[in-house]
Structure 1
Amino acid sequence: MDAFDDPSMDFLPAPDGLIRRTDGQSDDEELRRGVRRGKLVRVTRGVYRPVDPDGNTRDPDHDKQYAELVIAVARRSKQRVVSHVSAAAIHGLNLLAPDQRLVHFYVAAGGCRTREVHLHEGGALRESDTTVVDGVLLTKLALTACDVARQGTFAQAVAVLDHALRLGVTRSELGSIAQRFGETKGIATLRRALEVADKNSEPVGESLSRALMIEWSEIPVPSLQAEYRDGHGQLIARVDFDWDGKVVGEFDGKVKYEKNRRPGESASDVVFREKQREDRLRDEGLTVVRWVWDDFRKPQVLRARIRRALTQAGVI
């Protein structure tokens, strides 16, 4: 039994919420095993973020504090352009397990890192690439999303591009920026994610789900946000994932329940309504597969559940 099998041996993240190989709590193999089992998300080389029981790989309060830090540092550095995850925080882009230890800037020349900032070489940056938000000069939304995608994993890239499309960035804009990067580091991840990015994928958990499904070769690509109506034309549900009108998949994140809560409703009221909604879908002859953030801890178990449902319904 290793540390990821024994709940009493969970690793303690640093105050910034990250686990680092240099902390000495685990070796490389244990960390890789944690990623495979869905208990950790790799942020960058040697740095990981835990997926907690509620599936929260990021703390909204920490995001807000980070954005405030970025603005404060940027206002002391007027000749620099805020970029990457720092620009994403100001734009309000939803990211999957972002590394927010440093404030990122583009500079004309001489990229480097300090204890507080990461300066990126930005000699090819154009004036049209920048905008001003809250008095801070930063990269525009499209370039920001592409920069984050280039620095992340495939799942992180899919998540940020999905949200950028929902916020109104066009696929053409993203494609043009990708062409400008040439064969730079991370471009393959950006291009691959851009091929599958979809504005109809709503919360980060749905983007992560899709990224996993794309990696699972036997799982067909589902339709997103399909609507089901009863015999009177009344909407029963708009589902996250749909396979041939036979199987629907639903990712249940905390954000979704908060979003669906009506004035005066308790959390249990929302759960009860969701149960009724699921019953109506089953009455229509559909197979319903649900998963939550905690299921990402054991992605192969989730994979088997989806595959079994698709097989039994005759989809595969």
Structure 2
Amino acid sequence: MEEFRDALAARAINSVLMTSDAEEVGLSRFDLGPHANELGIRRVVRGAWTTTTEANPETWHLIRAIALMRRQVGEIGAHGHTALLVHGLPVVRAGLDRVHLYSPRASATRRRADYSVWAGSHPLEQVMRHDLLTTAESTVGVAAAIVWSGVTGNPSTALVAADAALRRRLVTEADLAVAAKALPRGVRGVSAVRAAVAQADSRRESPGESLTALVCQQLGFALRPQVEIGPYRVDFLIEGTNVIVEFDGALKYDDRAALVREKRREDDLRARGYVVVRLMWDDLRQPAVVAEKLRRALMVAA
């Protein structure tokens, strides 16, 4: 069976091939399951396989979306936070078990066991921004993908994607405002999504920074992003104070030299009269912890 591996890989489009592709190279559909390891393939959904045998959850979600789109009849594209992946934008706080698709010809939204096909009037476009893609896939536009990701995911999903899209100049604030206003009444959480998108800021440089700003804003702390202090640039400064807020994804210092440099930087900032608060992913999941850290820092800085 290994002699068919290269032929299947050549047939795959964006790592996805259909059972009919296998039949065209001389394999029976009954050969695929028992010989998947030899063939270098993995089942995605009924009738679809992938040549990508290892993938992180986001990439696997995109592979499933591609497979489901190839199974559909008629005009179909990615929607919501599924579309964010096609556009190469970050996806946070959104479930990856359900794929979200979109058909401009559908009269009503259809919900299946593990995917939904939304109805509406958004135009579809061909996009190739995710690293997996070597051929363009159909999707709603960037602004629509962002605002609807707040519906299919969470308002914070939309904010993180909006920050990234603004930073990469894939969309403008005006585009986001128009798309947010176009969300129909009655859509779950529409007010929260509009409020989140209105806070988008291109100066925030990572999903962690976007969520840090959101959590702090919800707690009543106004943050100014990317502030230069002497030779340094810090993630945030609490407005009107000398309290610096920095987001650390997981301490990102892989070697001792980098750790020493960061320690010296922080010591220098403190010597200049600043108080430094570091937040990590676990902190952002516990707003009360963030509030206590910031209150203590403000007391020290007073």
Q: 1:267 to 1:184 in 2, by over 3 A?
A: farther
Q: What amino acid is the match of 1:183?
A: R
Runs of 4+ with >6 A deviation: none
> After the TM superposition, which of the residue ranges 113-122 and 152-161 deviates more from structure 2?
152-161
Would you say 1:117 and 2:120 are equivalent positions?
Answer: no
Q: How does 1:29-68 map to 2 (within 5 A)?
A: 61-68=56-63
Deviations for 1:153-210, whole angstroms, at most 9, x for unmatched residues?
3333322222222221100001111222242413211221122111111221222111
Contact 1:149 1:160 in 2 (8 A): no
Deviations for 1:86-122, whole angstroms, at most 9, x for unmatched residues?
1111212112222111221112223111123211122
Count how many residue pairs are aligned between Structure 1 and Structure 2: 236
Indicate the residue corresponding to 1:167 in structure 2.
168
Q: How does 1:267-306 map to 2 (within 5 A)?
A: 267-306=255-294
Unmatched tracts of structure 1, length 5 or more: 1-59, 230-234
Kindly state the Cα deviation for residue 245 of structure 1 after the two structures are TM-superposed.
5.6
Q: 1:267 to 1:98 in 2, by over 3 A?
A: farther
Take 1:296 and 1:152, find their aligned partners in 2: how far apart are those partners? 17
Q: 1:166 to 1:118 in 2, by over 3 A?
A: same
Larger radius of gyration: 2
Unmatched tracts of structure 2, length 5 or more: 1-54, 129-134
TM-score normalised to structure 2 length: 0.72
Q: What amino acid is the match of 2:84?
A: A
Q: 1:67 to 1:270 in 2, by over 3 A?
A: farther
Indicate the residue corresponding to 2:151 in structure 1.
150
Among 57, 65, 71, the alignment partner of 1:76 is: 71
Take 1:300 and 1:89, find their aligned partners in 2: how far apart are those partners? 31
Would you say 1:91 and 2:87 are equivalent positions?
Answer: yes
Among 175, 189, 193, the alignment partner of 1:190 is: 193
Indicate the residue corresponding to 2:16 in structure 1.
none
SS of structure 1 residue aligned to 2:182: helix
Deviations for 1:32-56, whole angstroms, at most 9, x for unmatched residues?
xxxxxxxxxxxxxxxxxxxxxxxxx
Contact 1:250 1:291 in 2 (8 A): yes
Q: What amino acid is the match of 2:144?
A: L
SS of structure 2 residue aligned to 1:280: helix
Indicate the residue corresponding to 1:11 in structure 2.
none
Indicate the residue corresponding to 1:228 in structure 2.
229
Q: 1:291 to 1:306 in 2, by over 3 A?
A: same
Deviations for 1:104-150, whole angstroms, at most 9, x for unmatched residues?
1112223111123211122x22x3x5334333211111110111023
Among 120, 125, 135, the alignment partner of 1:130 is: 125
Q: What amino acid is the match of 2:60?
A: Q
Q: What amino acid is the match of 1:103?
A: V
> After the TM superposition, which of the residue ranges 134-143 and 70-79 deviates more from structure 2?
70-79
SS of structure 1 residue aligned to 2:208: helix
Q: 1:208 to 1:130 in 2, by over 3 A?
A: same
Would you say 1:202 and 2:210 are equivalent positions?
Answer: no
Take 2:153 and 2:113, find their aligned partners in 1: how far apart are those partners? 21
Take 2:127 and 2:157, find their aligned partners in 1: how far apart are those partners? 25
Contact 2:160 2:211 in 1 (8 A): yes
Kindly state the Cα deviation for residue 240 of structure 1 after the two structures are TM-superposed.
0.8
* Percentage of matched positions with identical amino acids: 29
